[in-house]
Structure 1
């Protein structure tokens, strides 16, 4: 299983909100399409710019509505597909980026502390079991 690190408030918008498109400058490796991935909230944040964009899109205050976890796995999703920007993923899709399509998103009841990495990374078996155990009640 792989994990994807995403800065706040975008990670929370995926796990707890309606964001089902992750914008990346590179396409999803084909072998990962259709697999479950862990959503990891980075230790760093996009701060005011990201917060204001989330408010603009959703009309809610992310700091008040969503848990502010950082440096932790906060959700699980299926990486359903990927396409280059074709103006179909509004309001979350950004022009000039690959849109990674996320489905079957589930927020974890408790964040699982983990050190992330750039791009896709492989979490420890302990991290995967702690996350999936919350989602399904069954370890990986």
Structure 2
């Protein structure tokens, strides 16, 4: 199982709102399409963001689990509604489950493998094997 660190408020928007695309400058490796992914709220705020809502103040913790359903490049950002940016890859997400209790841990750049204790704490709250239908 992999995790992806995302700055707030975007991690919270994935966990608690309707954000179902993550904008990245790099393409999702094909082997992760269809895989479950931990959404980790990074330690820093994206100061240019204008999104607010519940649990957006959580930093340095896993806040949700999602399924990576695909990846495509977008020149104009229009394909993924208000969340898509232009000239980046859109990683599409489904079956998002917010954790009732965020699991503290340090994040890393790129896709990273969480420690076993983090996975155990997440598994107590959500089924990591479930996939989207």
Would the TM-score normalized by the shorter structure come out above 0.5? yes
- 2:12 is matched with 12
Match of 1:66 in 2: 54
The corresponding residue for 1:26 is: 26
Separation in 2, partners of 1:137, 1:79? 13
- What SS does the aligned partner of 1:90 have? helix
Gaps in structure 1 of 5+ consecutive residues: 55-61
Which segments of 5 or more consecutive residues in structure 2 lack a partner in the other structure?
Answer: none
Q: Which residue of 2 aligns with 1:111?
A: 102
TM-score (norm 2): 0.90
TM-score normalized with structure 1 length: 0.86
- Does the C-alpha gap of structure 1 residues 46 and 136 become closer, same or farther in structure 2, counting only changes over 3 Å? same
* Residue from 89, 110, 127 that aligns with 1:136: 127
Q: 1:136 Cα shift? A: 3.1
Q: Where is the helix percentage greater, Structure 1 or Structure 2?
A: 1
Q: After the TM superposition, which segments of 4 or more aligned residues of structure 1 sit over 4 Å from their partners?
A: none
Say if 1:137 and 1:83 are closer, same or farther in 2 by CA, change over 3 A.
closer
What is the distance in 2 between the residues matched to 1:24 and 1:136?
26
Size of the aligned set, in residue pairs, is 126
Cα RMSD for the two superposed structures? 1.5
Q: Can you list the C-alpha shifts for 1:13-42, whole angstroms capped at 9, x where unaligned?
A: 000110000000001000000000000000
CA shift, 1:97, in A, is 0.4
C-alpha displacement at 1:128, in angstroms? 1.1
2:117 maps to what in 1? 126
- Answer yes or no: is 1:88 the counterpart of 2:76: no
Structure 1 Cα separation of the partners of residues 69 and 121 of structure 2: 23
